[in-house]
Chain A
Amino acid sequence: MFDWKWDFTWEILPRLVYATGNTLIAAGAGYVIAVVLGLMLALAQRTPSRGLTFTVREFVEFIRSTPLILQIFFVFYVGPQFGVRLSPWMSGMIAIGLHYACYLSEVYRGGIESVPKGQWEAAIALNMTTAQKYRRVIIPQAIPPALAGMGNYLVGIFKDTPMLSVIGVAELIHTANAIGSENYRFLEPYTMVGIIFLAISLPAAGLIRLFEGYVRRKLGL
Chain B
Amino acid sequence: MLDKTGFPLEMTGEDTPMVSFRKVRKSYGALTVLDDLDLDISAGEMVSIIGPSGSGKTTVLRMLMTLERINGGVIYVDGKPLTHMPKGGQLVPANQRHLRSRRADIGMCFQHFNLFPHLTALENCMEGPVQVLGLSKAEARDRSEELLEMVGMISKKDQHPSRLSGGQQQRVAIARALAMRPKVMLFDEVTSALDPEVIGEVTNVIRQLVSEHNLTMLMVTHQMGFARDISDRVCFFYGGRIEEQGPPAELFGNPQRERTQQFLSAVREAV
Q: Which residues of A contact B (CB under 8 A)?
A: 116, 118-119, 121-122, 124-130, 132, 136-137, 140-141, 219-221
Contact = CB atoms under 8 A, between A and B. Distances in A.
A220 B160 contact: yes
A80 B106 CA distance: 57
B66 to A, nearest CB: 7
A141 B118 contact: yes
Contact of B114 (A119, A140, A219): A119
In this complex, the interface size class of chain B, counting residues with CB under 8 Å from chain A, is: 20 to 34
Given A124-B65, A128-B131, A118 B162 contact: no
Interface of B: 65-67, 96, 100, 103-104, 106-108, 110, 112, 114-120, 127-128, 131-132, 160-163, 176-177, 180
For the residues of A in contact with B, the DSSP-based class is helix
A122 B113 CA distance: 9
A218 B127 CA distance: 18
B108 A127 contact: no
Given A132-B132, A220-B160, A220-B161, A125 B117 contact: no
Given A124-B67, A127-B100, A132-B132, A220 B120 contact: yes
Contacts of A125: 65, 67, 106-108, 110, 114, 177
Contacts of A137: 116
Contacts, number: 66
A220 B114 contact: no
25 contacts: A118-B110, A121-B67, A122-B110, A122-B116, A124-B65, A124-B67, A126-B127, A126-B132, A126-B176, A126-B180, A127-B104, A127-B132, A127-B180, A128-B131, A128-B132, A129-B132, A132-B132, A140-B118, A141-B116, A141-B118, A219-B117, A219-B118, A220-B119, A220-B120, A220-B162
Indicate the member of B116, B162, B177 with the most A CB atoms within 10 Å. B116
**What 3 A-B pairs have minimum CB-CB distances, sorted nearest first?**
A220-B160, A122-B114, A118-B114
A107 B177 CA distance: 33
A125 B104 CA distance: 8
